[in-house]
Amino acid sequence: MGCRRTDCLSKPLSGLFEKLGSLVGSCPLYFFVIPLVLTAALSGGFAFLKDREDNDFERQYTPKKGPSKATREFVKENFPYNDSMFSEERLYDRGNFASLIAVSTNNLNVLADPAFEEILRLNKKILNITVYDGTLGFDDLCAKANGECVSNVILDIVRSNESSITYPVHTYRSSPVFLGSALGGVHAVNNSLISAKAVKLFYYLDHRESKANASRLWLRGFKKLLSEELDKEHIDSIADVATTLYLYLLHRFDNVRNKVWVAVFGVLSAGLAVLSSFGLLLYIGVPFVITVANSPFLILGEKKKKHPRLRYMFQIIAVHQVTCCICTYNVFFSGIGLNNMFVMVSDWQHTNVKEPVSKRMAHSYKDAVMPITITALTDLLKFSIGTTSDFPSVQSFCLYTTISIIFCYIYTVTFFGAFLALNGRREASNRHWFTCMKIPTDHLDDRSKIHNICCVGGSYDEDTGAEKKQPASNFFKDYYGPFLIKPWVKGVVIFLYVVYLAASIYGCFHIQQGIELYDLAADNSHVTRFNKKDREYFSDYGPSVMVIVSDEFPYWVRLTRLRLESCMSSLKRLPFVDEDIYTSWLDTYISYAKENNLNIEHKYLFIQHLAPFWDSFPYFKQDVNFTGDSFHASRFFIQTINIANASQEIDMLKGLKTTLEGCRVKSMLVYNWNFIFYDQYDVVVKNTIKNVIVITAAMLLVSLLLIPDPLCSFWVACSITSVTVGVTGLMALWNIQLDSIFMIIFTVCIGFTVDFSAHMSYAFASSKKSCPNDRAVDALASLGYPILQGAFSTILGVSVLATSEFHTFRMFFKIFFLVVMVRTSKEAAMLTVVAIIIKYSYNSLNGDPQSEHTNQLHSRKVLDNAAVLDTLTLHLYQVFLIIFYAAMAAAGFHVSSCLFTDINISSKHPWMHQLNVGCSRKSRRSSGSNFPSIPPMAAVHAG
């Protein structure tokens, strides 16, 4: 007999799995011991963990080919550092520094005594920090300009003449100094400083490799001085997750049929898979990255200075290296393993308890392993595509996950199946689940009630020979299933589904993007307070931006200079640029020539007078790449203002690039080292959309091959798409933003939508019932309870994250919760209803003689009320599908093309390294100053 629909592949595979189940049931010890030995051998790879770690934040969490990285390479090549003339605004990378914010309490003036005296005392203590037994101090390690340390000039200015300070630019020692990044909460009248509520102090260190170790030690001294309670690891969530994953175990009270140990070894199987996959990849040298899914356990420290007028804030961020990442994979693969376990146990319970264990295992594998294979293949394809991501961290995560999925699948059908068979042998001999002693099946009248509860078990359904169904299973068969197939209930389900999708699509049009840096820290940590104060007091002035002429340019020609000046004027007229604060070597050179009556209108004369100009203004020599008689490149600086959030930062970057595109001077670039991190957001959107498409396509391909009904296969793929849209929209309504952390969590969580869609569809398509309604009830009776078990255990496992102090963990819980709830409700209601409707429609169109309902329609030509309602529901659903996919296309277009105009990206400082103290926007030094500028709020960055 020929194959029917797609039975050509699923039928022989089911037969193969049946033979495998029989083999596992006959020889369980081999399949139990071999995975344990393999795991023990592969776990040795963890000895190489330290060598494989790669936690450079920029390298791992920014696009490999981001446009700003290319611009940085150009800046690095054409404008190298001058170690003797340090300039903060001319940095092309993060730099090496520490930072501190002092905020006045009670809104007092922080520049007035005695608050200012307290700041001076603290600054003196910091400058006296030494390393190597006092042989090296700050003066030996600091970044220098003109032979002097780049210091906090604001302290000298206030100390010398507090009553006549101009803001934001003040002239000190005949040089203009920009104060916008040093003072916060400023009250000024006619550019005259009246008061300030906050002061930012900065301590730049020499970035050269020869002083790297000493600089790290100095930063540790800085940390020790300002904090007494550091290195407090927030790993309590790990213990909570590990504990709660076992709370679901006691779900059957029969002392023989109890599956407590089966559940334990189901979780253990997933853990062994993680250990084996990690160990294997560490053996072969694959980099180990602390994936952002839920990994940032931050080591935080804080000290509030006991002073009535001041509160000091600094931040120290480090990533807990191993435990958190293992926890991430354990939660994920425990979820996969639990779903597979529930399905296998459910099929085991439907077998005849009087049959040999090998035969029961054969029946279980025949029905259960096929949907498990479907989910494994789709997950495998999904994460395999993820290895092509633009983010190295995502590549590493997907590679580790792909190998882990393979091991999880293998261990499920071997290790877990073997233990299920061993447990079956115990049940066959009617032994107690805990003591393994034989116990009677029936209650004994001469024994106590406690004895009958604790020492009696092993009953089964004598009519079917299977284990007694639990009340929840009977509920789906006798109550929920018959209720769901009522025509009016189908209509209500479709209506509620339309409402759900309408709300979801509405949310898609209001999605925001980004994450605050302090969201990576605990809510009550000083890191959060620090960044909030930074945002509150120091958002008036944003980063200083390089404007680069990247090609040879005739600066001596007046006409071309006017074109360049017009371009710079266009940039300075932008709403987020301060027109009066900028740095231009060319404008200063022209003014210098006029003051000295020099002719610079010819190339020879223009070049001839450069040397004395650079002697007078040595900083500007760093802004021109000049060799021989050619200007290969030059740069200017503009000062951004009112950049209060990352949405404005992205708008600023887009505005700058758009303005340059309209300039008559070609080959111009804009750059600030923060732009490297802004590049990730465009890639995040593209990668997220690509992941959704890949997941859907992979599910459609695999389900078409393995589910014996193409219509059910198609609806499974549509189900994943609708869950994706639903979760995306609902997360926007729940204040979850789209960012690189979300991308990985979302990809992991959406993978769970595949599991029960495949299981339910396969059960519906494989049912031996002829009527679609009966098929639906049969599928619900078989898998309804495992669906609830999987959903409950999954939510229970991540529920402890709901109260976590870390935003990342709460986001993980929210996304996971939305995915599980939406998925479960869809599988238990919507997927079933639509499968019935599609099946009725398909049978009606093709005249399937197996359909009882179709036979009635064709033979009697009579439509009863139920048939009328089914037909109306079908037509309404068809109309709805057209509207849904049109709206979904519009939502997708909006997310992909309009996101960057309405987003609220809150990642003002998206970088983090192994040690950072203070993180803030970079600012600028005014033009022509021979005195080092006031640096912005900076960060301790060692190495």
Q: What is the DSSP track for 721-775?
A: HHHHHHHHHHHHHTTPPBSHHHHHHHHHHHHHHHHHHHHHHHHHHH---SSHHHH
Task: State how far the Cα of 906 lies from the Cα of 413, in Å rounded to an integer.
Answer: 45
The whole-model pTM stands at 0.71
First to last CA, the chain: 71
**Residue 914: how many CB atoms within 10 A of its CB?**
15
Helices (H), 662-709: 675-706
Distances in whole angstroms, Cα of residue 754 to Cα of each of 373, 702, 721, 783, 859: 11, 11, 11, 15, 39
Whether 457 contacts 257, CB under 8 Å:
yes
Mean pLDDT by 10 residues, the chain (943 residues): 58 90 94 96 90 76 86 93 87 84 82 86 90 90 89 88 81 86 90 90 87 88 66 37 37 68 84 90 82 26 39 40 39 56 80 90 90 81 79 81 88 94 90 82 70 71 70 76 81 82 82 64 70 83 92 92 93 92 93 93 91 91 89 94 79 90 89 85 74 73 72 71 79 74 67 63 74 79 73 72 76 80 68 57 49 42 42 46 50 46 34 32 37 33 33
Alpha-carbon torsion, ordered 76, 77, 82, 87, to 10 deg = -30
Please report how many Cα atoms fall inside a 13 Å half-sphere around the Cα of residue 443, on the Cβ side: 9
Q: What is the pLDDT of residue 11?
A: 80
Q: What is the pLDDT of residue 931?
A: 34
| Nearest partner of 85 among 790, 941, 930, judged by Cα | 930
Which pairing describes strands 136-137 and 169-172: parallel, antiparallel, or unpaired? Answer: unpaired
Whether 93 contacts 68, CB under 8 Å:
no
Query: Can you list the domains of the chain with their CATH numbers?
Result: 491-510+679-908 (1.20.1640.10), 544-678 (no CATH)
**Residue 858: how many CB atoms within 10 A of its CB?**
12
Q: Is the dihedral of CA 395, 400, 406, 412 positive or negative?
A: negative
Task: State how far the Cα of 116 lies from the Cα of 391, in Å rounded to an integer.
Answer: 46
Which pairing describes strands 183-184 and 299-300: parallel, antiparallel, or unpaired? Answer: unpaired
Task: State how far the Cα of 886 lies from the Cα of 888, in Å rounded to an integer.
Answer: 5
Amino acid present at 902: D
Residue by residue, DSSP assigns 319-376 as B--SHHHHHHHHHHHHHHHHHHHHHHHHHHHTS-TTS-HHHHHHHHHHHHHHHHHHHH
Task: State how far the Cα of 864 lies from the Cα of 850, in Å rounded to an integer.
Answer: 20
List CB contacts of 220: < 8 A, sequence separation 6 or more. Answer: none
Give strand pairing partners of 149. Answer: 144
User: If phi over 0 gives left and psi between -120 and 50 gives alpha, with beta otherwise, what is residue 185?
Assistant: left
283 CA to centre of own chain: 27
Q: What is the pLDDT of residue 910?
A: 32
Amino acid present at 923: S
Give the CA angle between residues 210, 213, 215 to the nearest 5°: 95
Q: What is the pLDDT of residue 234?
A: 37
Q: What is the pLDDT of residue 482?
A: 85
Q: What is the pLDDT of residue 414?
A: 95
Helix (DSSP H) and strand (DSSP E) numbers for the chain = 34, 21
> Strand, helix or coil at 73?
helix
Task: State how far the Cα of 349 lies from the Cα of 467, in Å rounded to an integer.
Answer: 5
Task: List the structure tokens of 662.
Answer: 């309209």
- Scored b (16 or more CB within 10 A) or e, 359-394 reads bbbbbbbbbbbbbbbbbbbbbbbbbbbbeebbbbbb
Question: Crossing angle for the helix pair 323-349 and 392-411, nearest 10 degrees?
Answer: 30
Q: Is the dihedral of CA 503, 509, 511, 512 positive or negative?
A: negative
Distances in whole angstroms, Cα of residue 758 to Cα of each of 266, 559, 569: 20, 69, 61
Whether 5 contacts 710, CB under 8 Å:
yes
Q: What is the pLDDT of residue 210?
A: 86
User: If phi over 0 gives left and psi between -120 and 50 gives alpha, with beta otherwise, what is residue 49?
Assistant: alpha
Task: State how far the Cα of 507 lies from the Cα of 487, in Å rounded to an integer.
Answer: 31
Q: What is the pLDDT of residue 827?
A: 60
Task: State how far the Cα of 77 lies from the Cα of 127, in Å rounded to an integer.
Answer: 34
Task: State how far the Cα of 364 lies from the Cα of 356, in Å rounded to an integer.
Answer: 12
